[in-house]
Amino acid sequence: MFDYTVITSNWQLILQGLWVTLYYTVGSIAVGLAIGLVMGLIQLSPFKILTYIGRIYVEFFRNIPLLVTLLWIYYALPIFLGVNITKGWAGFAGLSLYIGSFYAEILRGGVQSVDRGQTDASVALGMSYVQRMRRIILPQAIRRMIPPLAGQSIIQMKNTTLLSAITVPDLLYQGSYISSFTYKPMEIYTAIGAIFLIILVPLTLILRKVERGHVGGH
Partner 1 sequence: MAASSPRSSAQILDLAGIRLRFGNHEVLKGVDLKVEAGQVVVLIGASGSGKTSLLRCINLLNQPYAGRIDIDGERIFDHDNHGRDRIRLPMREINKIRSHTGMVFQQFNLFPHMTALENVMEGPVIVQMKSKAEARARAMELLASMGLEQHVDKRPAQLSGGQQQRVAIARGMAMNPKVMLFDEPTSALDPELVGEVLKAMVALAKSGMTMVVVTHELGFAFEIADRVVFLDAGRIIADGPPAEVLLHPEHPRLKGFVTRFHESAEMLRPFLDAR
CB 82 within 8 A of CB 61: no
* Contact code string over 85-124 relative to partner 1, x by CB under 8 A: ------------------------------x-xx-xxxxx
Among 65, 139, 193, 213, binds partner 1 (CB under 8 A): 139
- Binding mask 140-179 toward partner 1 (x if CB under 8 A, else -) reads x--x------------------------------------
Residue type, 204: T
Q: Are the C-beta atoms of 95 and 32 separated by less than 8 Å?
A: yes
| Residues touching partner 1, count (CB under 8 A) | 21
**Residue 145 C-beta: closest distance to partner 1, Å:** 14
CB under 8 A: which stretch of 35-43, 128-136, 162-170, 180-188 binds partner 1?
A: 128-136
Q: Which of 31, 44, 127, 150 binds partner 1 (CB under 8 A)?
A: 127
At closest approach, how far in Å is the CB of 48 from partner 1? 16
Contact residue for partner 1 among 125, 197, 206, 215 (CB under 8 A): 125
Question: CA angle at residue 188 from 182 to 193, to 5 degrees?
Answer: 165
CB atoms within 10 A of CB 121: 13
Q: Rounded to the nearest whole angstrom, what is the least distance from the CB of residue 135 to partner 1 in the complex?
A: 6
Instruction: Check binding of 126 to partner 1 (CB under 8 A).
Output: yes
CB 24 within 8 A of CB 168: yes
Sign of the torsion formed by the C-alpha atoms of 64, 66, 67 and 72: positive
Return the closest-CA partner of residue 195 out of 42, 22, 9, 3.
22
Q: In a 10 Å sphere around its CB, with 0-12 CB exposed, 13-18 middle and 19+ buried, how is residue 99 labelled? A: buried
List of residues contacting partner 1 (CB under 8 A): 115, 117-118, 120-129, 131, 135-136, 139-140, 143, 217-218
